[in-house]
Structure formats: C-alpha cells, structure tokens
Structure 1
Amino acid sequence: MELSTLARVTTGITLLTCVLAVAGVHSYAAGRAQRQALVDRLTAAGHVPGTGRRRRFPGLDRRLRRTRLGKKLELRLAATGLDVTPGEFFVYMLAAVTGLWLIGQAALAPFFGPLAGGLGIAVAVQFLNWQRQKRIEKFINQLPELARILANATQAGLALRTAVSMAAEELEAPAGEELGKVAAQLAVGASMDEALGELADRLPSRELVVLVTTLVLSNRAGGQVVSALRNLTETLDERKETRREIRTQLSQVNMTSYAVPVLGVGSLLLMNGVKDGALERMTGSPAGQAAVLVAFALYAVGFVLIRRLSRIDV
C-alpha cells in the first residue's frame, strides 16, 4: 500500500510538473510574440528599438543622464540625429580636449595648453550646433513635399493621424524619422498638439511652426485643411528657393568669418616657426599673456560680428 501511494504521488507530481512546464512554454511564446509585435509596430512608426551597435560607457551614460547638463546634452543630440549617447559624446569631447591641450602645450607654449582645451570644448559645442542646423535645413527642404503628401492624404479622406504615418513611411530622413516619432507618440495616446509641439521644439524654424500651426488649428476646428496645405506648399516652395539664393550670395562672407580666426592661429604658428621659443618667451610675462588673451578675444568678436552681419532671416 505504501509503495502504491508513493507511486501515485510521484505520478501526480510528474504530471503537475509537465503541466506547469507546458504552461510556462506557452506563456514564454506568447510574451515573445507580443514583444515582436510591439517591435514591428514601433519600427513601422519610425522607432527602431536597437541599431545593433553596442553602446559604450553605459555606467557613465546613466549617471550623466541624471544631471541637468546630461539632460540638455541628450536633447541636443536628439536634435542633431547623431547615433551617439550623452556618455559617449562626453568621453569623446574629453579625449579631444586632452589631445588639443597636449598639442597646444607641446607645439606652441605651456600657456596655450588650456586655451587649446577650451577651444576643443567650443568646437564640440559648435559641432552640435552645426549638425542641428544642418538637420533643420534638410528638414525645411522636405517641408513642401511633406505638406503635399499630407494634402493628398487628407483629400483622399484619410485622418490626419493616418496621413502623418503615411508621410513618415514615404519621406526620407530626417523628415521620415521625425514624423515616425510623432506617429509613435500618437499611437500611445498623445494628442496631436503635444506631438507636433515637441516636433517644433526639436527642430525650430519658422516654416515648421507655420505648418504645425496650420495642422493644429485644422485639427481643432475642422477647417479646410486641404486648401490650407495646398497654399502652404506653394509658399514653402517659394521660401525654399529664396533661402537657396541667399545662402549662395552669403557663402563668401561665411568663409571670411572662418578665415579670420584661422589667420590668427596661423600667424602664431608662423611666429614660432621663424624663431623657435618666441611664443614661450612672449607668454612668460603677464603682459604677454594679457596681449594673447586680448588678441584671441578680438578674433572671437570679429567672428561673431561677421556671422551676425551676414545673417538674414527670411
């Protein structure tokens, strides 16, 4: 009797284990299918969860994102479209600053080491601004085609949310990527005003503000969005040509603004090349250091003034 009871208990435990194993496998398969469906949905909306590239410095990146500087840097990198985390960018910038510090100290004089390091930080910030402005310019050039796609989609009877998703699939980067983010936000319950407002904050421009305002007002009041988008498409095409002409006319002035500080640094290298150790002797006294700082400040002021004078808002 005892052996028979033990056999029945063992059989019952075995059957229960098999049932739990089958249930676990079924739950795992269902969860994996749901995850794959979510990945496919986000990918179709323009969000690719992973690029396949292994992220570097994850610990530093997590700590940096908690700070105010890290949050600002993350927003700036998102606006540039670069596939770089704040931690990676910080490490790369730190390496560039260290390298420029050592090069300036060895090639010129010890006094120029900190100046070269500060120049590295300024170049990194300017690089982000340049990448952001480049992405904005490219997005502005795609706005006429974007408005045309939205007008055709709404004229065909599609909702504005569907039209945005369609434009995200048809347009190339950066418009396709940015509209993919908008479509993903709309898919998880965000309002049209919030999603388009964040788009205007990421890529600020007058043209985009006009388009966003038109879409938001049409979505709220239910006005004639097709005719408004048609008129906006023509206006954006004209502004695109005007901006291209102005950029061509001011290309020489922009090159002059960059040539001014380059000539200043070149004159220092020439001076040190003509007479070895001249910069070290010059910066060995407070008067010489003050003269160098004043000269660099004047070059920076000249660069800023030339850029400001050549800026024409259309």
Structure 2
Amino acid sequence: MNPLILLALGATLLACLFVVLGLHAYAAGHAQRAALVERLSSSDAPEGVGRGRRFRALDRRLRRTAFGRWIERRLATTGLAVTPGEFLVHVLLAVAGAWLLAAALLAPFFGPVAGLIGLWSANAFLSWQRTRRTERFISQLPELARILANATQAGLALRTAIGIAAEELEAPAGEELARVADRLAVGHSIDEALGEMAQRLPSRELVVLVSTLVLSARSGGAIVGSLRNLTVTLEQRKETRREIRTQLSQVMVTAYLVPAIGLASLLLVNTMLPGALDRMTGAFIGQTAVLVALSLFTLGFLLIRRLSKIEV
C-alpha cells in the first residue's frame, strides 16, 4: 500500500481519537458544572443528571469477562470517569493509529511493534494515573489526620469524623472517604472499609493511618494524641518526598530521553536514506538487529527508572 495512504489513514484515526477524547472531556466538564450548580443551589437532584455513557452494549459484554473486570478494577484505582468499554475503544483506536503511522513513516515491520508499544503505553498510563492519584492522596493525609483529630477531640465518633472529612477535603481524599462513609452506612466495619481504601491507594503513609484508626477503634485508646503525632510525622514525610522528587527530576527526564533518541535516530536514517528501513527490515538479520536494539533501549529505560526509584 502507498505510504501516503497509510499516513493519511493513521492521521485520520488519530484525529478520530482526539475527537472522541474531546467530546469525553466536554461531557465530563458539563456534568461537573451541572453538579456544582445543583450543589450551590441546594435544589433537589433532577432525574438523569450525569454524563451519558457511550458503547453501552460493548461495556455490558466486557464486564462479563475476566478481562473486562480487570480493566474495571484498574480504572477504579485511577479515579478516571471512563467505563471499561470506552477505555477499550480509545486504546484500540490509539493502537491502530500508531500502527499505521509507524508503518507509513518508518517501515511496515514497525507497525506491529508500534501496536505493542501502544498496548504497553495504555497499561503504563493506568499505572501512572494510579500513582499520581496516590501521590495526591498522600499529600492530603496530614490535613486528613488533623481533621480527624479535631473531630474526635470535639467528642464525635470516628464514623462521624470520617463523614466530616469527606465533606471538607477535595478529591481524591474526599471521594475515597465518601466511599468509606457509604460502606460504614450500610453496615461494614471500620476495618473492612478502611482496608478497601488502603488496597485502592497503596502507600506506607495510608497504611500507618489506617492501622492507627483501626487499633484506636478496637482498643479505645487515645486516638487524639496518636493522630496529632501522626500529623507531624506525615508533614515531615511529605517534605522529604518532595525533596526526593526534585532531586530525581533530571534522572526521570533522562529515562524518557533514551527511547526518544532511538526513535529520532530511526526517523533521521529514513529521512536521509529513503527506503533504508524497508530494505533493512526486509531481511531476517535486519529484523533481529532492530528487535535487539529496541530491547536494549527498553532495558535502559527500565534500569534508569529502577535506579531512580527510592522508597521513603
């Protein structure tokens, strides 16, 4: 097939993906605005408020499978307002666009490689979104511990204090605590509700906070003093984590530059010698060399990320 046709198809698919993402962002913003107007006006909730879901038939079929339930669990930990069906369609469009673009700009051999990288990137995006949400939640933990300490010092029960914290804090802490409050309202124990939250947002700081709350609820100890001390500790850990991220920012940029340099070199070779990548990947030795080079670039990326990962 003509490379220009492949390039046009890839650009069309990417444009369609951007249109879908734009519509999704617009619908989500419209729903948030409607919810805000409803909350400020203190009126009764109108029927049918919320964003209309797309691909409902696909979503229903996907949720019945183990793969669909896995996607749903991953999305639940990221806080994204996307259904498994919508996420799958977006990923397939992105993979198809990357496949056609790589085949048109480089060589047909790079199409499947770009597709695999697209699938890996989708999973990496979910992991990054989950980590980002967890980091935001960790930054709110000192304020959360302070609110719980003030509420319990005022004589309120722990369940009531969690409900107050859910109303006072912004997302993601407010959303997660609202889930905990809903679990407690339907009869779940504090251990179960807080344990589910710790599984959704795994971090040492949250585990310490949950352990403190659970032990205080069981033994009836001095929860106010424990939360006060924990607030100071969480503030110190927050500052330490911020300093570490600042020190490692250059290393993280280097990790992403390594594969970018490899891609840029391929584009440069194909620009200087048109058809060189086609001839190179047309032989088994050339394909093997390309796969080995891609493996080495990936290994370098992973090693740099691993060396720059410091547990606090």
Q: 1:105 aligned to 2:100?
A: no
Which letter maps to 2:236?
Answer: E
- Counterpart in the other structure of 1:148: 146
- Counterpart in the other structure of 1:86: 84
Q: In structure 2, how many angstroms separate the alpha carbons of the residues matched to 1:266 and 1:68?
A: 39
- Counterpart in the other structure of 2:32: none
- Counterpart in the other structure of 1:183: 181
- Counterpart in the other structure of 1:228: 226
- Counterpart in the other structure of 2:300: 302
- Counterpart in the other structure of 2:160: 162
Q: Equivalent residues in 2 for 1:142-291 (5 A)?
A: 142-291=140-289
Query: Which consecutive residues of structure 2, in runs of 5 or more, have no partner in the other structure?
Result: 1-37
Q: In structure 1, how many angstroms separate the alpha carbons of the residues matched to 2:227 and 2:48?
A: 35
Cα distance, 1:59 vs. partner?
1.1
Q: In structure 1, how many angstroms separate the alpha carbons of the residues matched to 2:198 and 2:105?
A: 45
1:173 alignment partner, SS class? coil
The 4+ residue runs of structure 1 with deviation greater than 3 A are none
Cα distance, 1:65 vs. partner?
1.1
Q: In structure 2, how many angstroms separate the alpha carbons of the residues matched to 1:111 and 1:211?
A: 51
Q: In structure 2, how many angstroms separate the alpha carbons of the residues matched to 1:184 and 1:70?
A: 25
Q: In structure 2, how many angstroms separate the alpha carbons of the residues matched to 1:50 and 1:89?
A: 23
The higher radius of gyration belongs to 1
Cα distance, 1:196 vs. partner?
0.3
Change (3 A) 1:50 1:289: farther
Change (3 A) 1:248 1:50: farther
Which letter maps to 1:208?
Answer: L
1:270 alignment partner, SS class? helix
Q: In structure 2, how many angstroms separate the alpha carbons of the residues matched to 1:139 and 1:51?
A: 27
Cα distance, 1:67 vs. partner?
1.5
Query: Which consecutive residues of structure 1, in runs of 5 or more, have no partner in the other structure?
Result: 1-39
2:296 alignment partner, SS class? helix
Deviations 1:35-94 (A, max 9, x none): xxxxx9xxx9xxxx9761110111111111121121111111111110000010001000
Cα distance, 1:147 vs. partner?
0.2
Deviations 1:215-274 (A, max 9, x none): 011111111110000000000000000000000000000000000000001100000000
Deviations 1:134-169 (A, max 9, x none): 100000000000000000000000000000000000
Deviations 1:198-228 (A, max 9, x none): 0000000000000001001111111111000
Which letter maps to 2:112?
Answer: P
- What's the TM-score once normalised by structure 1's chain length? 0.84
Which letter maps to 2:227?
Answer: L
Deviations 1:109-157 (A, max 9, x none): 1100000111111111111111111100000000000000000000000
- Counterpart in the other structure of 1:22: none
Deviations 1:161-213 (A, max 9, x none): 00000000000000000000000111111111100000000000000000001
- What's the TM-score once normalised by structure 2's chain length? 0.84
Which letter maps to 1:306?
Answer: I
2:310 alignment partner, SS class? coil
Q: Please, which of 94, 102, 110 is the counterpart of residue 96 of structure 1?
A: 94
- Counterpart in the other structure of 1:130: 128
- Counterpart in the other structure of 1:76: 74
1:313 alignment partner, SS class? coil
Q: In structure 1, how many angstroms separate the alpha carbons of the residues matched to 2:53 and 2:131?
A: 26
